[in-house]
Amino acid sequence: MQDRQPTPPLFTQVDISAGTLSGGPVHHGAEGEQTRLLRDLVAAQDRQNELLEELVSQVTTAVGQFGAAQRQRNQELSQWKDANPSLARDCRTAAEALCRVQTEFLNILTSEVNENAEALADGEFMLTEFVDRFGPRLAHLNGVLQVLAQLGAAGSQPSGPSGS
């Protein structure tokens, strides 16, 4: 059998009670560096909190201004509808008719895309022709439909904070 030599312990006891220092030499430079780093972290976090508070303040102000503008726009639209009831009804009727036109236009557009998908993907000329053919009409049709739908919307829209 081999003679076993005692191995030194892996762990030592350290007294962590307040006011006592034991367990070996203390590096005051390392403690000072840690303290400085912790103070720097606290200062950076304080600055970050100040910036977040400023950002929240600005966002709150912007949302409030947007809400006020939206309420004013809704009020003006309601006043226009009250002053022009027959025109508002005509706008609603026109919007419904134009919606049917838009649906048919979208049917034609999607059929064109489905029938020519490979040519559109492979050829820049075909894609340009497609966009030139359908793009402006779709954009203008959507714009006109949106205006007619808004002007012809049934009833007065609420002007309170929940109205949009």
All structural domains of the chain with their residue ranges: 31-83, 85-155
pTM as predicted: 0.51
Angle CA(51)–CA(57)–CA(63) in degrees, nearest 5?
135
| Lowest mean pLDDT, pick from 9-18, 92-101, 132-141 | 9-18
Query: What is the residue type of 40?
Result: D
List, for residues 85-96, the tens digit of each pLDDT value.
Answer: 999 999 999 999
In the chain, DSSP assigns E strands to none
Which residues have CB under 8 Å from 144's CB, separation 6+? 98
Q: For residues 73-96, give the mean pLDDT.
A: 92
Q: Check: CB of residue 67 under 8 Å from CB of residue 161.
A: yes
Q: For residues 108-118, give the mean pLDDT.
A: 93
Q: Name the CA radius of gyration of the chain, rounded.
A: 36
Q: Is the pLDDT of residue 37 over 80?
A: yes
Query: What is the residue type of 80?
Result: W
Task: Give Dmax (Cα) for the chain.
Answer: 112
Q: For residues 36-52, give the mean pLDDT.
A: 93
| Lowest mean pLDDT, pick from 21-25, 77-81, 83-87 | 21-25
